[in-house]
Structures are given as structure tokens and as C-alpha cells.
Amino acid sequence: MLEENINYQYITEFINQNTPDTTPFLAELEIYAKENFIPIINRETRRFLEMLLKLKQPKRILEIGTAIGYSSLVFEEATGALVDTIEIDDKAAGLALKNIQKAEKSEKITVYHGDALTVLKVLKQESYDAVFIDAAKGKYPEFFRLCFPLLKQGGLLICDNILYKGMVANEALIPRKKRALVHKLQRFIAYLMRHTNLTSSIVPIGDGLIVSIKRSATC
Ligand SMILES: C[S@@+](CC[C@H](N)C(=O)[O-])C[C@H]1O[C@@H](n2cnc3c(N)ncnc32)[C@H](O)[C@@H]1O
């Protein structure tokens, strides 16, 4: 059976019950996203990313896929970093700007309104300590190709929804119309896991993350 979440529901519920709430404003955005069917990082993914980023202590974070600005605000809140985030959709970009203004974070979070495949080409090389890819899954290989030079050595790369409701790990779950996309994700995962300049790990949390570190001269 195809599940929204890749883990047993009782495990997810347990993790979520034990995960502290966000700020009241982020909680408002969570409700808005739920009511309007806007996919944002889920509770357990949010906590895990907060932790990873706090360990990394990034000064600058790049995000592909802003939606309403929820995860950008989470990242800024967790680290105090400057966040650059890219959103292709007009309505979502407008809402994100409004939410970021409301949270008084316009000086910390910059929303680039456009296709990441275009915007990424004009950003400065090796300027980000962490990159979060959370947009069209079919374009992950292209996003990665353009993001990799923007990430500093030792930088953190995180891609969300990598296990895509479990489909990437079980052919029997894949409906015919999703086959090409799922196979593309499988090839992307294999590519990252074998990339000689990355150390990567697949993390079965939320809809699945792949977390990679760009190799530096020392590791
Ligand atoms: C899953 S949502 C992002 C959720 C957000 N990261 C959060 O957790 O709050 C994915 C977003 O990526 C955007 N997107 C899809 N393709 C894109 C592209 N080529 N360039 C920029 N944004 C894109 C979609 O419009 C959508 O708002």
C-alpha cells in the first residue's frame, strides 16, 4: 500500500508527539499549509534538519523550493544564517514574501522568484555552507549539477522526498505513470551515493532524505 509517510504510522506519531512545537507564527503556517494542501517539510524532518544545521552552524543557506517560506523561516530560526531561497510559482513566492515580512526576517531571507534552473546560474560559486533541495523531484539531477559548485567544501547538501512514499525502494508500489520519475530518483540516489566528492547517507525520515557532505581537502 502506498503511504504518505514511509515509516509505520505509530512510529511517526511517536516521534511527532515527542517533538517540541515551533514558534506560534510557524505553527500558524503549518495550519495554513495543511488547510491549503501546500507540501512543507513535516514535523520529524523539521526537527532533524534543525539539528543537522545547528551542528553545521552555517552562515549561508541555499534552498530550492520556498513554497510559503516555512522551511526558510525554520532554518533562519535554528541557525541565524542568511537564507537564499528560490520559488518558481507566483502565488507561493508572493505568500512567502508576505510571511517573511510578517516574521520580520526580510533582512535575513531573500526570495528569488524564478525557475531554479535559471537562478542557480547567477549565484556565486562556493558561497553556501548548506543547500536544501525540495522542489520538482524530476529535476533533482539538474538542480544538483547547478548547486554543487555553489556549495563550499565541507558543505552540507540535503535533498527531501528522496524515497517518494517508499516507491524508490519497492517496484511493486510504483504506478505505471510514476515509473519514469521513480527510476530517475533511483538513478539520482545511486549517483550521489557513489559520487567521489560526496559522503552521502539515506535517512528514512519523513518522505526520505539524502544527506551529503561535500568533500574537503581534509575529509
Ligand atoms: C515541497 S514545496 C517546498 C516546501 C518548502 N521547502 C517548505 O518545506 O516549507 C516545493 C516548491 O518547489 C517549487 N518549485 C518546483 N519547481 C521549481 C523550480 N524549477 N524552481 C523553483 N521552485 C520550484 C514549487 O512551486 C513548490 O512551491
pLDDT in tens, 100-126: 999 999 999 999 999 999 999 999 998
Cα(218) to centroid of ligand 1, in Å? 34
Question: Facing residues of 211 across strands?
Answer: 158, 201
Torsion-angle region of residue 126: left (phi > 0), alpha (psi -120 to 50) or beta?
left
Distance 74 CA to ligand 1 centre (A): 15
The per-residue pLDDT for 74 is: 98
Pocket test for ligand 1, best of 89, 112, 161, 165 (most atoms within 8 A of CB): 89
Cβ atoms within 10 Å of 27's Cβ, excluding its own: 11
Read off the pTM.
0.96
Which cell numbers hold the place of 152?
563550499
The pLDDT of residue 57: 98
Ligand 1 contact, 89 CB (< 6 A)? yes
The pLDDT of residue 2 is 57
Sheet of 82-87: strands edge to edge? Answer: 109-113, 82-87, 60-64, 128-133, 151-159, 209-214, 198-203
Beta strands in 9-126, from DSSP E residues, in sequence order: 60-64, 82-87, 109-113
Question: Is the CB of residue 80 less than 8 Å from the CB of residue 61?
Answer: no
> Tell me, what's the pLDDT at 6?
83
Q: Is 71 in the pocket of ligand 1 (CB under 6 A)?
A: yes
User: What SS3 class is residue 203?
Assistant: strand
pLDDT for res 7: 85
Task: Tell me which residues of the chain have a pLDDT lower than 70.
Answer: 1-5, 219
Provide the sign of the torsion angle of the four alpha carbons 55, 78, 50, 190, taken in this order: negative
Q: Distances in Å between the alpha carbon of 77 and those of 60, 83, 108?
A: 13, 11, 10
3-state secondary structure of 29: helix
Atom of ligand 1 at shortest range from CA of 117: 19
Q: Which atom of ligand 1 is nearest to the CA of 139?
A: 19
Ligand 1 centroid to residue 219 C-alpha, Å: 32
| Residue of 23, 36, 27 whose CA lies nearest to 67 | 36
pLDDT value at residue 140: 98
